[in-house]
Amino acid sequence: MVYLHLFIKLETNLLPKNNFGPMPYKEKKIEKLYYSIGEVARMFNVNTSLIRFWEKEFDIIKPKKNKKGNRFFTKQDINNLQLIYHLVKERGMTLSGAKKKIKENKEDTENNFEVIQSLTEIKNLLLQIRDNL
C-alpha cells in the first residue's frame, strides 16, 4: 500500500501544474548542434586548456573548426569527453590507461559508463523522494 501511495505521489508530481488539465503535447527540448570550447569546459567544470589537451591526446575527439580556428564540439564529441572524464577524473586512470581501454573495447566501456550514469540518476531520484517524504 505504501508503494502504491508513493507511486501515485510520484506520478502527480510529474504532471504539469496548470488549470487546464494535462498538456496535449510535449514540447521538444531544443538541443544545440555545436558547443563552444568554453561551454564544454563549463559542462565538466574544467579549464579549456584541458579540453584542448584531451583533444590532442585522444583521437575520438574531433571538433569542427571555423576559419578563425575556433572549436565547435558536437554531441558525439561531448559524449566522448564524458567517457574520458569518467575514466581519467572519476576512476583515476592514467591517460595511457584510458587510451588503451577505449581502444581495446570502447563499446564495453561506453556501456559500463551508461549503466553508471543510469544508476546515479536513479540514486538521485530516490534521494529526492526520500527527502520529500
- 58-75: pLDDT as tens digits: 989 999 999 999 999 999
Determine, yes or no, domain membership for 133: no
Q: State the pTM of this model.
A: 0.64
pLDDT tens figures, 30-61: 678 899 999 999 999 999 999 999 999 998 99
CA distances from 59 to 63, 66, 81, 126 (A): 10, 19, 11, 38
Q: Does residue 97 belong to any structural domain of this protein?
A: yes
130 inside domain: no
pLDDT band at 119 (very low <50, low <70, confident <90, very high): confident
Q: Which residue in the block uniquely carries the three cell numbers 574531433?
A: 62
Q: Is residue 47 part of a domain?
A: yes
Domain-embedded: residue 116: no
* Residue numbers of the domain that contains 83: 31-104
Give the span between the Cα atoms of 102 and 25, in whole angstroms.
40
- Does some domain include residue 44? yes
Whether 72 maps to a domain, the answer reads yes
Determine, yes or no, domain membership for 2: no
Q: Is 31 within 8 Å of 79 (Cβ atoms)?
A: no
Would you call 74 helix, strand, or coil by DSSP? coil
Integer-rounded Cα Rg, in Å, for the chain is 20
Q: CATH number of the domain that 77 lies in? A: 1.10.1660.10
SS in 3 state form for 48-68?
Answer: HHHHHHHHHHCCCCCCEECCC
Look-up of cell digits 543510469: 118
